[in-house]
Amino acid sequence: MNWITNYVRPTINSLFSRRELPENLWTKCDECGTMLFHRELAAHLNVCTSCGHHMPITPRARFNALFDGGVFTEVKVPEPIADPLQFRDQKKYTDRLKAAQKQTGEKEAMLVATGEIGRTPIVAAAQDFSFMAGSMGMYVGNAIIAAAEEAVKLKRPLILFSAAGGARMQEGILSLMQMPRTTVAVEMLKEAGLPYIVVLTHPTTGGVTASYAMLGDVQLAEPGALICFAGPRVIEQTIHEKLPEGFQRAEYLLDHGMLDRVTPRAKLRDELIGLVRLLLGLPPAIAADLPAPAAADDSAPDDAATPEAAAPKAEPAAASAKPAAKATKT
């Protein structure tokens, strides 16, 4: 109405809500030492443009690049009981959790979402190594179960990106019990005849590798990812000998028959689309940059919290065939 509402308020608001600049505009590649500009790095999904070294990527950034048009709907994960053991080491577990939440802006170490990749509806789950080393506690277990249940309900494949130091010690035996619990989740998918594809990312170790992360129908890994049960340091201490070059890295596992493929992050999306469509008996995807799916456009394009369950009620084959046909016409 007046200059205060029209000018002063927006100015003040913009001053306070101004997005914080990234602290470091430049990141040094831990492998080759090249300085990488943050925009360039983000555009390449945190892969070094000079040597191809794969740096960690958050689940959200990964999903933005994975889903058509960057549109996905988060799946709600049932909240577990907090700090069941009242665990305390040098710090309280609850304090460690709060610190991790503050640092990452995420609630816990796994993000589950539904959406489409190459017009193929999927459920995806990604583990966040930056959140307490991605460790598998009750929340992560619940997230994987929720992801499997959602996939079964919607008759969609599940794609899981693993990254974890192992089980979350602060939840003691209950973290260990996520090994059988998540295995039950994998069984649900198998019994429903749905593809379960695992992408092992750096690093995936311990109880995570020894449960859901090794039970995929297809096992992919990102280049250079450390994948193991016992870490190299523990092994060196046990056997008192130096381990060979590249030991427990993705390429080493591929050589030893423990993986199907090692795929660079840049090619991962296309490969996942191809694999999922092959396994579901769908026609090949259209190789082009696809806009956001129509269903999400209609309701609210920016709001990722839109309940998506309302949209595709039909079986996945029909649901995915339709938009694909539409894309061919345009």
Q: Which residues bind other proteins (CB under 8 A)?
A: 80-81, 83-90, 138, 141, 145, 167, 169-177, 179-181, 183-184, 186-187, 206-207, 209-215, 227-230, 234-235, 238-239, 241, 243, 247-248, 256-258
Taking the mean position of all CA atoms in its chain, how far away is CA 318? 27
Give the whole-angstrom CA distance, residue 56 versus residue 211. Answer: 22
Residue with smaller CB distance to other proteins, 23 or 191: 191
Give the whole-angstrom CA distance, residue 14 versus residue 282. Answer: 48
DSSP, res 83? -
Residue with smaller CB distance to other proteins, 110 or 145: 145
Distance spanning both ends of the chain, measured CA to CA: 45
Residue with smaller CB distance to other proteins, 81 or 305: 81
CB of 220 to other proteins, least distance (A): 15
CB of 130 to other proteins, least distance (A): 18
**Omega prior to 203 cis, within 30 of 0:** yes
Residue with smaller CB distance to other proteins, 179 or 327: 179
DSSP symbols for 5-27: IIIIHHHHHHHHHPPPPPS-SEE
Which helix (H) or strand (E) element contains residue 197?
Answer: strand 196-204
Structural tokens at position 301: 């394009």
CB of 154 to other proteins, least distance (A): 20
CB of 107 to other proteins, least distance (A): 17
CB of 161 to other proteins, least distance (A): 17
Residue with smaller CB distance to other proteins, 227 or 295: 227
CB of 123 to other proteins, least distance (A): 18
Give the whole-angstrom CA distance, residue 125 versus residue 111. Answer: 6
Which helix (H) or strand (E) element contains residue 299?
Answer: helix 294-299
Residue with smaller CB distance to other proteins, 205 or 306: 205
Give the whole-angstrom CA distance, residue 166 versus residue 38. Answer: 29
Q: Which residues contact 172 (CB under 8 A, 6 or more apart)?
A: 84, 85, 87
CB of 82 to other proteins, least distance (A): 8
Residue with smaller CB distance to other proteins, 98 or 267: 98
Residue with smaller CB distance to other proteins, 31 or 83: 83
DSSP symbols for 104-131: HS-SSSEEEEEEEETTEEEEEEEE-TTT
CB of 86 to other proteins, least distance (A): 7
Structural tokens at position 88: 């305390």
